[in-house]
Amino acid sequence: MKKFLVMTAALVALTSQGNAASIVNNDSEARTVVVTEGSSQQELSLAGGESAEFCPNGCFVSLSGERETLLGTEQLEISGGKMRIR
C-alpha cells in the first residue's frame, strides 16, 4: 500500500503542470503575435497549426490590434485571426 502511495505521489509529481502559457494557431496561414514580457518586446510567429509555449511569468500579447494579458498559465488559441483564451 505504501509503495502504491509513493508511486502515485511520484506520478503526480511528474505530471505537475507545465506553468508556461501555450498558444496554438488553428488557422492555415501564419500569424504573428507581439509578446511583451519583462523588459523586452518580441514577435512570435506561428505557422498554420503550429503551437508554442511562452511567457512563463505573465505577459501582454497582441495580435493585429487585439490585446490580451496573460498570467502565464493560460492556453491561447488563434482562429480566424482572433485570439481566444480557452
Residues that bind other proteins (CB under 8 A): 1, 4-5, 8, 11-20, 36, 38-41, 53, 56, 58-60, 62, 65-71, 82, 84-85
**CB closer to other proteins out of 26 and 58:** 58
- Of the candidates 22, 25, 23, 21, the one whose C-alpha atom is nearest the C-alpha of residue 81 is 25
Closest distance to other proteins from the beta carbon of 4 (Å)? 7
**CB closer to other proteins out of 46 and 70:** 70
Angle at 65 between CA 82 and CA 44, to 5 degrees: 70
**CB closer to other proteins out of 45 and 69:** 69
CA distances from 51 to 10, 67, 80 (A): 28, 19, 15
Closest distance to other proteins from the beta carbon of 28 (Å)? 20
d(CA 83, CA 8): 37
User: Which neighbouring-strand residues pair with 69?
Assistant: 60
Closest distance to other proteins from the beta carbon of 73 (Å)? 9
